[in-house]
Amino acid sequence: MGYKKTDPCLQKAFDDERLFVLMTRDVSAPSTVLEWIKLSIWSQPDEKLREAFECALEMKNRFVEMNERKLKCSTKK
């Protein structure tokens, strides 16, 4: 799990490498991360899989909060 400027994984991407970002406020994000874990169980280290699982849990737990924040931001404009 990372944030824009502090995630070493994102910093490893080539300048011209395409990335796909999942945001917490996307209802499909937690299940997408869990699916990635299932597909990567034999090819990724346990630490990375655990981090992904924790990310999916946080996304699920903070979904409502993030969408409420988005709504507040859009009504201010």
Sequence ranges of the domains in the chain:
26-75
Alpha-carbon distance of 24 to 53, in angstroms, equals 13
* Residue 24, burial from CB neighbour count under 10 angstroms (0-12, 13-18, 19+): buried
Tens digit of pLDDT for each residue in 15-64?
A: 888 888 899 999 999 999 999 999 999 999 999 999 999 999 999 999 99
Structure confidence at residue 6 as a pLDDT band (50, 70, 90)? confident
Instruction: Please give the model's pTM, rounded to 2 decimal places.
Output: 0.80
